[in-house]
Amino acid sequence: MTTNVLTGHATTAPGSRSRFAIDVRDFLTQRPRQLPSRYLYDDLGSALFEAICRLPWYPLTRAELRLLETHAPEILNAGVTTVIELGSGSGAKLSALIAAAGSGRGRLDVHLVDVSKSALSQASGALESFENVRILTHETTYEIGLEESVLPRPFPGRRLALFLGSNIGNFDPPGRDAFLGSVRTALDAGDGFLLGVDLVKPERDLLLAYDDPLGVTAAFNRNLLARINRELQGNIDLDDFTHHVLWNEGRSRIEMHLRSRRRQRIRIREADLDFVMAEGEMIWTESSYKYDPPEIGSMLERSGFSVRAQWIDAAGGFALTLAEAV
């Protein structure tokens, strides 16, 4: 089976529309047909994802926030002088962390890395009222942003890289290990890495989180087809596709698909594509891997980190792991 190579949930950078066209062509002609999940996040997709994070059936965001607030003084102790958040989103989590760290925290340089300009300006706004915090933004991919962030070390102290929201779950295992390796390479021994990961939980709860009764996740998924129509001049009738979610227990991942309701011909002019989909045929749009707490420690250790603490939110089935580069 061809693997869906993912680089996180970032919006495509401006001007990369032809990359989108190339990827749509490459991935839709593979078997199984697929689309990279990063393209789910255009403006509407990002707004729908924000709404998902508020749904009662999607506990990840609230669970992670509880853990960040509870353990902030340990996470952001006085030795940390540089924070690098990979995929800053709205900045709400980092704000909560800094606020809850209280007076124990010293002066901070905060690097926000995101491909979305609007996410960076929202996150900068959320952080600007903190004293002794200097904000530096990097409108680029995780990997490039990380390299840029570690270049200047204006004052002594440790760096702390954050990768929250279980974004690691959207990487397939080889991509995940490559990503963790690149984080480790960018950091110095003694620097910290905080990783938020969603845990394996009962199938019923997982399916509800990704196929919510309000249909917000279905809209998030089908919006990818609307984006293809709009940006690449596709002729896809959204009503001809349903949101389909399954728990692949063997691979420990939730899979999101778009299932064709009938045999239909799809034309996407800008991607130079014209093909027929059979009734019931699917387009695989996202994988969301779920882990057990010990597996998180093992993957970090394999990548050159040593686990310093792991905190679990049992109600939300979520783990926050603090590791140190060794």
For the CB of residue 113, give the shortest distance to ligand AVI in the complex, in Å: 15
Distance CA 225, CA 33 (A): 13
Q: Which residue is nearest to ligand AVI (CB)?
A: 288
Decide: is 217 part of the binding site for ligand AVI (CB under 6 A): yes
* Among residues 91, 169, 192, 196, the one that binds ligand AVI under rule CB under 6 A: 169
Task: Give kind and range of the element (H or E) at residue 27.
Answer: helix 17-28
- Tokens representing 326 are 């060794």
Neighbours of 120 (CB within 10 A): 20
Give yes or no for a contact between 299 and 177, defined as CB atoms under 8 angstroms apart.
yes
Distance CA 71, CA 218 (A): 34
For the CB of residue 79, give the shortest distance to ligand AVI in the complex, in Å: 29
For the CB of residue 170, give the shortest distance to ligand AVI in the complex, in Å: 5
Q: Which stretch binds ligand AVI (CB under 6 A): 21-29, 76-84, 162-170, 225-233?
A: 162-170
61 vs 81 by CB, closer to ligand AVI: 61
* Among residues 61, 141, 288, 303, the one that binds ligand AVI under rule CB under 6 A: 288
305 vs 318 by CB, closer to ligand AVI: 318
Decide: is 170 part of the binding site for ligand AVI (CB under 6 A): yes
Give yes or no for a contact between 39 and 8, defined as CB atoms under 8 angstroms apart.
no
Distance CA 283, CA 220 (A): 14
Instruction: Give the residue among 169, 197, 163 at the shortest CA–CA distance from 317.
Output: 197
Give yes or no for a contact between 160 and 78, defined as CB atoms under 8 angstroms apart.
no
For the CB of residue 63, give the shortest distance to ligand AVI in the complex, in Å: 12
* Among residues 85, 286, 313, 324, the one that binds ligand AVI under rule CB under 6 A: 286
Query: What residue ranges bind ligand AVI (CB under 6 A)?
Result: 9, 52, 165-167, 169-170, 210, 217, 286, 288
